[in-house]
Amino acid sequence: MKKHLSAILASALALVLLMSACGPAASNPTNTPGNPDPKPSQQQDTPPADQPVTITYSNYNASGGNEETLQKMYEAFHEEYPNITVEIETIAYNDYFTQLQTRVSGGTAPDCYELNIENFAAYANKGALAEITGVDFSGLDETSLNAFNVDGKQYGLPGKFSNVVLFYNKDLFDQAKIDYPTADWTQDDLQKAAEAIRALGDDIYGYYQPLTYNEFYKVVAQFGGSLLNADKTEFTINAPENVAAAQMMADRILVSNVQPNEVQMGGIGDWDLFMSGRLGMMPTGIWAFNTFAEGCKFDWDITVEPGKEQKATHFFSDACVINNASDKKEAAATWITWLTSSDKAAAIRIEAGWDLPAIKDQSTLSAYLDITPPANRQAVFDSLNYLVVPPVIEDYSLMSDIIGQKLSAAAAGTLTVQEALDQAQSECQAQISLK
Amino acid sequence: MTLKKRLGTTGYYVVSTVIAVVSMFPFLWMISTSLKSQGAIMSIPIQWIPQEPSGDAYVEVFTKFNFLRTVGNSLFISVSYTVITLLSSAMAAFAFAKVRFRGNDLLLKLYLATMMIPTQVTMIPLFVIMNKLGLINSFGSVILPSIFKPFAVFMLVQQMRAIPEDYLEAARIDGAGIFQVFRKIALPMCVPTLSTLAVTTFMESWNDYLWPLLMLTQREQMTLPIALATLQGTYNPQYNVLMAGSLVSMVPIIIIYIMAQRNFKNGMMAGGIKG
Amino acid sequence: MPQKANRRGGPKKDGLFTAVPFLLPSLLGLLVFSLLPLLVSALISFTDWNGLDQLLAPGFLQEHFIGLENYKNILLGAELWKVLGNTGAYIIMYIPLMLAASLLEAYLLSSTRRGVSAFRVVYYLPVLTSWVAASLIWTSVLSPQYGAMNNLLALFGIQGPGWLLDEKWAMAAIVLVSVWKDAGFFGLILLSGMVGINKSYYEAASLDGAGAWKKFWRITVPLMSPAIFYVLIVALINAFQLFPQVMIMTDGGPNGATQVMVERIYRYGFRYFRMGYAAAFSWILFVIIMACTAIQMKAQKRWVNYDA
């Protein structure tokens, strides 16, 4: 019997080796792993421009509402470039990165795809992405472009950008008889207003800014702190400024309770709370405009987020990247350049209210300002003066999960703020080696 | 005695009904939520029955994905998957139960031991294998693993062992070959277990999520659970839409189950697990 | 010819030739879809593969091989034990509750009263639901403010907890949902054991004046112990592999209270780009499951009754 078992195992082993050694050419071993230097894209491996070519483009941003907008963009593109057919795959955000990673490691990644800032560094550093060359992307905004530039090489084009502004419910401010927030506000002004609104009723809350990693690194910047030292060689998670920032955020939940705790939130989304008219203020993304315009039965507006020592606002951008193993890099570059920087794509995007195109040209963007609500759309552009970019490191997801988990314990009162940040600091040091 | 019996009957129905209510309760909530507007979902006090029922959520579900196509995909995959599982497992079970060969017991144990392998362990290598076989983005990648289903083999071995040797013996004396014995005697005598397995296997394939997600990336290939997951937006959960989608995704399998119910019952009885 | 050899019952089991064609499809599946990937994953567990470089590309092993490093880090780290603690808490709550619920369902369904077939459909509905749908439904039901559960409890004057959002209750909530979903399935398996019991045992007990309760514990349970044993084995394996409900309902939170083995494996492999580490983690899980199953197999001799 033993003989049989070992025979089975032996033949299985043989199969492993066979498959790894001489698999068919379904995958494209264009580069050795770990070598981030791609071949110049316009070399022999791409077909001439006038031959019909089909590429695949994977994305998650269009899922749950903008599939048709993206399709519209593609149709406009295909009119201009009839030779390039793009097969668009739209996958739900929750599963997108699982699927993508599997496909990259299996050698079947799409020719071009979308990456968020959390994953971008890992993909770029591990040689999965091709440098984007041979196309003109000078129309794109510098700040956004820089976010996807590694060692002077452009590995991604910003597909869109969005930022975060302070949304407020005018009716609740009127009821509380206090002034509307302005761009000059500090966190202290906000606290006072939040308390006045909280006093309006048991179910009414002044402010909602969850104690999550994303909000934390921004407030930290407002307090003049940061999570990493300047050259990104050392974690500084439990620095005094950071503790003060987290303390303020936690106190709003646990002490003044101007902000609902998890149980008071009851598992509904923060947007829903705002739309129900029971929340005075919240910082959230400009991608909420459409939903709020439809869902709010009260007057609301926006302004630049308040700061502390300084102002700091979020900047979110997703990159369109090219698969380093693709043999259609040129067509892929043409498509993502058109998608990110052409006037037509920008116009369709603005019309659909699907974030902002990351382009320089202000005249295209001006159409964006004309849409109301909110009346004060200018705040979107004003906020751009205070952008903070998340601290991009290779182990970004691991770091943000560790910090996020400790912060949620602090928000629930299980840990003190100091304990939470101390633990986050030591766990990050233990698990992540910074270069 | 009769009073006691009547009390017993009343007690029986009370307990059965309580459990039925517990089983059904989330579904009733699902139906109620699916008929609410986004605002009504968060009204306080909550609305047990929507005050202004609206079918908007269903409209959204049906506009978001091609329902018929998706159900068609799911049906095709699940039916093929089930047929292959039953056939392959019945063949293996026949060999294990009715043919004596060296290593019979050991091999069966190996089959069963693989049930303990967490799927996550094998997911990435399996993806690479499928890729080498050129099966990515084809239904084959989702259907083919059905040829090896140790649970089904196990259930069928139990049933086949219960078939008296004399039956097979008699057939062989009449000149039937081993394949004929399998087809004409063993298979028909396993129908109860086979029908049970048909339902459980079908269900497993119908509800499978992660594997089809990795294998089938094209929109036209979407199966129901994947379509359901795409209803979750990136930012704000719309519970009415999610509940409507859940309900829609359940309807086909419930219909199939009710149709298969009668066979199913007998199957579970006959496939009874005894040492 | 083969059966003649069998008849004599000698050691000469020469049916291999007959068996092979029947075994071929599943054997091929066993090799390609189970053993081969298992071997590859063992290989991965000895590497620092990030999950992005092409698997088994030329030079793969030279570049990534790190020996037992992953296993060392996991076994010496605190995370494994914390996660095992969470899984243990799940198992301790889930197994008895699930067994009680499915025994009760099986008992009710074994009746010949009117309406049983309707109950059978209703009890099986949760099993028919996919985990994606079930998790979405229960997330809505368990919402502390706007969900059905706490509002129902409020009708009886009970202030419900935060369920999935409360560190102390989240795992209990996961157990509740899992029992709801699984009881119907295991109930049917138990039912098959229950109806196989020879009626004469009950008749004899009735003559001795035993009541329904006594009959259930003295006859039904012992005589269906093989089915119970089988349910326990499968349920324990499933419990260790707890995943989709956690992923959709809590994502491992709040504050890590529902982090379990497979959730960690998934996260390390697909979120943190540490596929080698994840593979080692999954092999540790595999070994734990095998050990627990082996213990159950050993222990069965003490209580499982195969004489029914």
User: What does the pLDDT look like over A269-315, one tens digit per residue?
Assistant: 788 899 989 999 999 988 888 889 888 889 999 999 999 999 999 88
Domains A53-160+317-369 and A163-315+376-431 share a fold: yes
Task: Map out the domains of chain B with their CATH numbers.
Answer: 59-270 (1.10.3720.10)
Q: How far apart are CA C241 and CA C76, in angstroms?
A: 22
Mean pLDDT across C278-305 = 89
Q: How far apart are CA C164 and CA C193, in angstroms?
A: 36
Q: Residue B46: its pLDDT value, please?
A: 79
Q: What residues in C contact A101, CB-CB < 8 Å?
A: 51-52, 270, 273
Query: CB–CB of A101 and C256 under 8 A?
Result: no
Q: Residue B263: its pLDDT value, please?
A: 62
> In this predicted model, what pLDDT tens digit does every residue of C266-283 receive, in sequence order?
889 888 888 899 999 989
At B104, phi and psi to the nearest 5? Answer: -50, -55
At A140, phi and psi to the nearest 5? Answer: -90, 150
Query: CB–CB of B118 and C275 under 8 A?
Result: no
Reported pTM: 0.83
Asked whether the predicted pLDDT for residue A48 surpasses 80, the reply is no
Q: Residue A23: its pLDDT value, please?
A: 36
Mean pLDDT across B118-131 = 82
Pick from C63, C146, C270: which is nearest to A101 by CB? C270
Please check whether residue C133 is in contact with residue C122, taking contact to mean a CB–CB distance below 8 angstroms. Answer: no
**Which class for A361: exposed (0-12), middle (13-18), buried (19 or more C-beta within 10 A)?**
middle
**Any B CB within 8 A of C209 CB:** no
Give the range with max mean pLDDT: A100-114, B79-93, C179-193. Answer: B79-93
Query: CB–CB of C22 and B182 under 8 A?
Result: yes
Q: CATH for A163-315+376-431?
A: 3.40.190.10
Asked whether the predicted pLDDT for residue A14 surpasses 70, the reply is no
Q: Residue A25: its pLDDT value, please?
A: 35
Query: CB–CB of C26 and B94 under 8 A?
Result: no
The Cα-based distances of A63 to A60, A319, A346, B219, C260 in angstroms read 5, 16, 19, 12, 29
Query: Searching chain C, which residue's CA lies closest to the CA of residue A104?
Result: C52
> In this predicted model, what pLDDT tens digit does every residue of A237-280 receive, in sequence order?
999 999 999 999 999 999 999 999 887 887 777 888 999 899 99
The Cα-based distances of B195 to B86, B115, B265, C195 in angstroms read 9, 21, 9, 18
CA angle, corner A403, sides to A160 and A253, nearest 5?
A: 90
Mean pLDDT across A89-101 = 84
* DSSP of A203-215: T-EEE----SHHH
Query: Searching chain A, which residue's CA lies closest to the CA of residue B209?
Result: A95
Chain B interface mutation, best of C34, C237, C249, C264, highest count of B Cβ atoms under 10 Å: C34
Q: How far apart are CA A68 and CA A74, in angstroms?
A: 10
Place C260 in a pLDDT band, splitting at 50, 70 and 90.
Answer: very high
ipTM for the complex? 0.82
Three-class SS state of B21: helix
Asked whether the predicted pLDDT for residue A402 surpasses 80, the reply is yes
B173 to chain C, closest Cα gap in Å: 11
Q: What residues in C contact B141, CB-CB < 8 Å?
A: none
Asked whether the predicted pLDDT for residue B273 surpasses 80, the reply is no
Domain ranges of chain A: 53-160+317-369, 163-315+376-431
Q: Residue B235: its pLDDT value, please?
A: 61
Which chains have 3 or more CB–CB distances shorter than 8 Å to chain C? A, B
Q: Residue C13: its pLDDT value, please?
A: 56
C254 preceded by cis ω (within 30°)?
yes
A/C interface, count of CB pairs below 8 Å: 119
Query: Searching chain C, which residue's CA lies closest to the CA of residue B203?
Result: C128
Place C186 in a pLDDT band, splitting at 50, 70 and 90.
Answer: very high
Query: CB–CB of A12 and C166 under 8 A?
Result: no
Q: Residue A381: its pLDDT value, please?
A: 85
The Cα-based distances of A76 to A111, A142, A161, A361, B73 in angstroms read 20, 26, 21, 20, 31
Pick from B106, B127, B134: which is nearest to A26 by CB? B134
Pick from C58, C270, C275: which is nearest to A97 by CB? C270
Q: What residues in A contact C271, CB-CB < 8 Å?
A: 97, 397-398, 401
Chain B interface mutation, best of A55, A71, A272, highest count of B Cβ atoms under 10 Å: A272
Q: At what angle do helices C36-45 and C275-303 cross, to 10 degrees?
A: 120
Asked whether the predicted pLDDT for residue A11 surpasses 70, the reply is no
**Which class for C162: exposed (0-12), middle (13-18), buried (19 or more C-beta within 10 A)?**
buried
Q: How far apart are CA B187 and CA B193, in angstroms?
A: 10
Pick from A19, A89, A275: which is nearest to B132 by CB? A19
Asked whether the predicted pLDDT for residue B25 surpasses 60, the reply is yes
B57 to chain C, closest Cα gap in Å: 15
Q: Which residue has the higher pLDDT, B259 or B110?
A: B110
B260 to chain C, closest Cα gap in Å: 11
Task: Map out the domains of chain C with their CATH numbers.
Answer: 65-303 (1.10.3720.10)
Q: What residues in C contact B115, CB-CB < 8 Å?
A: 237
Q: What residues in A contact C277, CB-CB < 8 Å?
A: none
Q: Residue A39: its pLDDT value, please?
A: 39
At C272, phi and psi to the nearest 5? Answer: -105, 5
Tell me the Cα Rg of chain B. Answer: 24
Asked whether the predicted pLDDT for residue B142 surpasses 90, the reply is yes
Contacts of C208 (CB under 8 A, 6+ apart): none
Which chains have 3 or more CB–CB distances shorter than 8 Å to chain A? B, C
Query: CB–CB of C30 and B114 under 8 A?
Result: yes
Q: Which residue has the higher pLDDT, B231 or A336?
A: A336
**Any B CB within 8 A of C308 CB:** yes
Pick from A106, A398, A409: which is nearest to C272 by CB? A398
**Any B CB within 8 A of C138 CB:** yes
Q: CATH for A53-160+317-369?
A: 3.40.190.10
Pick from B44, B103, B214: which is nearest to A4 by CB? B103
Q: Which residue has the tokens 């499809």?
A: C25
The Cα-based distances of B4 to B215, C114, C205, C209 in angstroms read 59, 18, 18, 14
Q: Residue A304: its pLDDT value, please?
A: 95
Asked whether the predicted pLDDT for residue A134 surpasses 50, the reply is yes
Mean pLDDT across C62-73 = 90
Q: Residue A235: its pLDDT value, please?
A: 95
Query: Searching chain C, which residue's CA lies closest to the CA of residue B225?
Result: C132
Query: Across all residues in chain A, what is the average pLDDT?
Result: 84
The Cα-based distances of B122 to C142, C265, C302 in angstroms read 34, 12, 35
> In this predicted model, what pLDDT tens digit does every residue of A51-65 receive, in sequence order?
899 999 999 888 767
> In this predicted model, what pLDDT tens digit does every residue of A69-78 receive, in sequence order?
999 999 999 9
At A319, phi and psi to the nearest 5? Answer: -105, 145
In this structure, what token pair is assigned to residue C75?
């076994």
Pick from B213, B235, B236: which is nearest to A95 by CB? B213
Q: Which residue has the higher pLDDT, A37 or C190?
A: C190
**Any B CB within 8 A of C126 CB:** yes
Query: CB–CB of A15 and C31 under 8 A?
Result: yes
C67 to chain B, closest Cα gap in Å: 18
Pick from C15, C115, C286: which is nearest to B101 by CB? C15
| Cβ atoms < 10 Å from Cβ of C20 | 13
Pick from B115, B225, B258: which is nearest to C132 by CB? B225
Asked whether the predicted pLDDT for residue C8 surpasses 90, the reply is no
Query: CB–CB of A271 and B235 under 8 A?
Result: yes
Q: What residues in A contact C35, CB-CB < 8 Å?
A: 8-9, 12
Torsion of CA A323, A324, A327, A332, to 10 degrees: 40
Mean pLDDT across C275-295 = 91
Q: Residue A192: its pLDDT value, please?
A: 95
**Which class for B140: exposed (0-12), middle (13-18), buried (19 or more C-beta within 10 A)?**
middle
